[in-house]
C-alpha cells in the first residue's frame, strides 16, 4: 500500500487497544479528502513522523500530562515535520518547514494555538528530520533530563540505559562534552559499538552480561548519575551501585510499558543510604525554555560537538510495523518514518 494518491489524506487510526506489543490489527488505515483550509489555518503536508515509545500508552487510552489518550477510531498521536503548503495565517508562509503535533496522517489543516504551537525548524544545514531528533522532543529530553535534573560535573561517572536510542544517544554525547566518564547499556553488540563511537567509555550489552557484576567492576567508586530510559531491573541494579550524593534521572521506563503491572522496585532505600536523589521529569514542563535549549543544541550541532543519530523507516504504510520494532530494539537512534523526501534530504 504505497502512497501514490497525493490527492487524499492518508491516516493511521486506532482499531483496538493493544495487548503486549502493537500488531497490525491494532491499526486501521483510512483515506479521506485533504482538509479544506479555514480562516486562520495552515495546511501542512507531512514529511516525517516520529515513532516514540509513548505512542502505545496513548493507544492504551492513557492520558499523559494533559494529552488525552486515544479513543477507538482516533488518528494516532505523533509529532511530525511538515511543509506549509497553504496559509491563512500571516506568521506562516508556504514553503516553511515546521514541527509539531501532526498525528499519523499525510496532511493536516489546523489553527496555530498556544497548545498546537508549530515551531519553525532551524535545520543547521541538515535534513529537516533534525526537527524530530536533536532539535525535537528527543534532543530536548536529553538536554533537560541531563542538565537540569542530572546536573553533571566533569569527571563524574554517568550510566545511561537505552543508550543507543534517541534520548540515550544524545545524552551520551552531551555528557562526554562536559567531561564525564560515560557507561552505556544497549541490547546488542552493534549497538554497543555505536555508543562507543559516540563517545561511551564503556558499553554493556545488558542482554548477555551480568549487569550487577559488570556495574560493580566498572563503577568501583559508584555511579554519580544514572539516566534511566528503561526502568525495571536495570534501574534496580543501578540503585545498588550508587555513589554518595548521586542523581537518578527518571526519563522513561520502556521495559515496563508492555506489562500490565509495574516492576515493583524493592531497593529504593539505597537512595537514603547514599544521600541520593531520584527525580522524574516531563519534557513539556520545560517548554518555556525550549527556545534557549534549541539555540544551544543548534550551536553544538554546527560546531560538530554532537551529531544526530536517526533511524529512518521508509513509508507511511510501514508505520505500525516500525512502531512495534522499537519495543524489540530495532532502532539505532531516534526512530522516524519518512513520508516524503524534504529539502536537504539525501536521496
Ligand atoms: N520524560 C519525558 O518527557 C520523555 C520524553 C521522551 C522520551 N521519554 C522516554 O524515554 C525513553 C527513551 O525514549 P527514546 O525516544 O529514546 O526511545 P527509543 O530509543 O526509541 O526506545 C527504544 C529502545 O529502548 C530499548 N528497549 C526496549 N525494550 C527494552 C527493555 N525491555 N529493556 C531495556 N531496553 C529496552 C531498545 O533498545 P535496546 O536494543 O538497547 O534494548 C529500543 O531500541 C522511553 O522510555 C520514552 O518513553 C520520556
Minimum-distance ligand 1 atom for the alpha carbon of 145: 1
Helices (H) and strands (E) in the chain, counts: 10, 15
115, burial (CB in 10 Å: exposed 0-12, middle 13-18, buried 19+): exposed
Per-residue pLDDT, 1? 45
Report the distance separating Cα 281 and Cα 262, nearest Å: 18
Per-residue pLDDT, 115? 76
Whole-prediction pTM: 0.96
Query: Which ranges in the chain are annotated with CATH 3.40.50.720?
Result: 137-284
The CATH fold of domain 137-284: Rossmann fold (3.40.50)
* Nearest Cα residue to 175 out of 159, 161, 162, 187: 159
What does the pLDDT average to over 242-248?
98
Q: Is 166 in the pocket of ligand 1 (CB under 6 A)?
A: yes
Per-residue pLDDT, 343? 72
Minimum-distance ligand 1 atom for the alpha carbon of 232: 32
Report the distance separating Cα 204 and Cα 124, nearest Å: 33
Per-residue pLDDT, 237? 98
Ligand 1: residue whose CA is nearest its atom 15: 166
Q: What is the pLDDT of residues 83-93, one digit of tens each?
A: 999 999 999 99
What does the pLDDT average to over 35-52?
96
Q: What is the pLDDT of residues 277-318, one digit of tens each?
A: 999 999 999 999 999 999 999 999 999 999 999 999 999 999
Residue 4 scores a pLDDT above 90: no
* Nearest Cα residue to 100 out of 114, 85, 86: 114
Q: Is 327 in the pocket of ligand 1 (CB under 6 A)?
A: yes
Q: What is the CATH number of domain 8-133+308-338?
A: 3.90.180.10
The answer to whether 211 and 217 are in contact (CB under 8 A) is: no
Minimum-distance ligand 1 atom for the alpha carbon of 257: 45
Per-residue pLDDT, 158? 98
For residue 67, give the C-alpha cell. Answer: 494529552
Per-residue pLDDT, 64? 83
Q: What is the pLDDT of residues 249-266, one digit of tens each?
A: 999 999 998 888 889 899
Amino acid at each position: 500500500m504505497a502512497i501514490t494518491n497525493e490527492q487524499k489524506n492518508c491516516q493511521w487510526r486506532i482499531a483496538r487497544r493493544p495487548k503486549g506489543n502493537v500488531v497490525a490489527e491494532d491499526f486501521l488505515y483510512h483515506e479521506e479528502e485533504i482538509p479544506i483550509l479555514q480562516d486562520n489555518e495552515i495546511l501542512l503536508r507531512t514529511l516525517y513522523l516520529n515513532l516514540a515509545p509513548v505512542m502505545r500508552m496513548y493507544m492504551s487510552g492513557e492520558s499523559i500530562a494533559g494529552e488525552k489518550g486515544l479513543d477507538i477510531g482516533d488518528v494516532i498521536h505523533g509529532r511530525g515535520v511538515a511543509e506549509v503548503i497553504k496559509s491563512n495565517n500571516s506568521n506562516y508562509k508556504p514553503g516553511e518547514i515546521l514541527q509539531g503535533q501532526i498525528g499519523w496522517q499525510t496532511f493536516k489543516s489546523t489553527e496555530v494555538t498556544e497548545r498546537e504551537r508549530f515551531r519553525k525548524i532551524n535545520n543547521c544545514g541538515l535534513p529537516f528530520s533534525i526537527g524530530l531528533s536533536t532539535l525535537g522532543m528527543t534532543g530536548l529530553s536529553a538536554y533537560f533530563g541531563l542538565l537540569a535534573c542530572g546536573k553533571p560535573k566533569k569527571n563524574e561517572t554517568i550510566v545511561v540505559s537505552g543508550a543507543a536510542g534517541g534520548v540515550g544517544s544524545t545524552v551520551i554525547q552531551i555528557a562526554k562534552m562536559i567531561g564525564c566518564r560515560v557507561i552505556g547499556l544497549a541490547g546488542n553488540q552493534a549497538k554497543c559499538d555505536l555508543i562507543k563511537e559516540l563517545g561511551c567509555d564503556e558499553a554493556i550489552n545488558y542482554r548477555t552480561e551480568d549487569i550487577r557484576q559488570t556495574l560493580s567492576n566498572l563503577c568501583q567508586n559508584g555511579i554519580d548519575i544514572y539516566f534511566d530510559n528503561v526502568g525495571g531491573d536495570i534501574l534496580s541494579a543501578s540503585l545498588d551501585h550508587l555513589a554518595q550524593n548521586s542523581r537518578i534521572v527518571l526519563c522513561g521506563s520502556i521495559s515496563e510499558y508492555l506489562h500490565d503491572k509495574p516492576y515493583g522496585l524493592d531497593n529504593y532505600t539505597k537512595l537514603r543510604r547514599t544521600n541520593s536523589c531520584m527525580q522524574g521529569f516531563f519534557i513539556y514542563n520545560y517548554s518555556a525554555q525550549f527556545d534557549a535549549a534549541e539555540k544551544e543544541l543548534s550551536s553544538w550541532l554546527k560546531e560538530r560537538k554532537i551529531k544526530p543519530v536517526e533511524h529512518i523507516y521508509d513509508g507511511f504504510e510501514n508505520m505500525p510495523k516500525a512502531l512495534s520494532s522499537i519495543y524489540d530494539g530495532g532502532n539505532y537512534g531516534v526512530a522516524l518514518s519518512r513520508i516524503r523526501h524534504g529539502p536537504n534530504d539525501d536521496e
